[in-house]
Amino acid sequence: MARYQDFETIVSTMGDLPPSPLVATKLLELLRQPDTELHELVTTLSLDPVVSARVLKMANSVFYDQQRQVTTVEQAIIVISQNTLRNMAFDSSLRNAKRTYGLLERRLWENAIGSAVACGMIAKESGC
């Protein structure tokens, strides 16, 4: 049980740190290539503990309804899919650009990102 609590603590506090724009850029580059292997994504993502924690947190969310806790970056990438990982990398790369705005702008930004992800999932489910 202690390991689970440690995991929760790490994931909940990592979101407060700034992500690395270099790792996000490298991830986007890898995700553009059709022949990118999973281990390349894992290696790159593991260089940024902030984005890694966000990916783990998302993979363990109720939305993905996993039977067991996802504890590795590799498992998390498989659960959330490369499209969602791409969206997260875009978000991470643009996160610093929005830091100068106020609360309203931040909420609008988060709403826009959430809407884009939801639209992508709806399109995928409807076969578009």
**What pLDDT score was predicted for residue 3?**
44
**What pLDDT score was predicted for residue 106?**
72
Distance CA 114, CA 118 (A): 6
Counting the structural domains of the chain, the total is 1
Condensed to tens digits (0 to 9), the pLDDT of residues 53-72 reads 888 888 998 888 888 899 89
Distance CA 5, CA 98 (A): 31
The pLDDT confidence band at residue 108, using thresholds 50, 70 and 90, is confident
Distance CA 35, CA 38 (A): 10
Tokens 């100068």 — which residue? 100
Distance CA 99, CA 43 (A): 28
Domain extent for 42: 2-126
Condensed to tens digits (0 to 9), the pLDDT of residues 5-34 reads 455 555 555 545 555 667 888 888 898 888
Q: Are 83 and 63 in contact (CB under 8 A)?
A: no
What is the pLDDT averaged over residues 93-104?
63
φ and ψ at 15, to 5 degrees? -65, -15
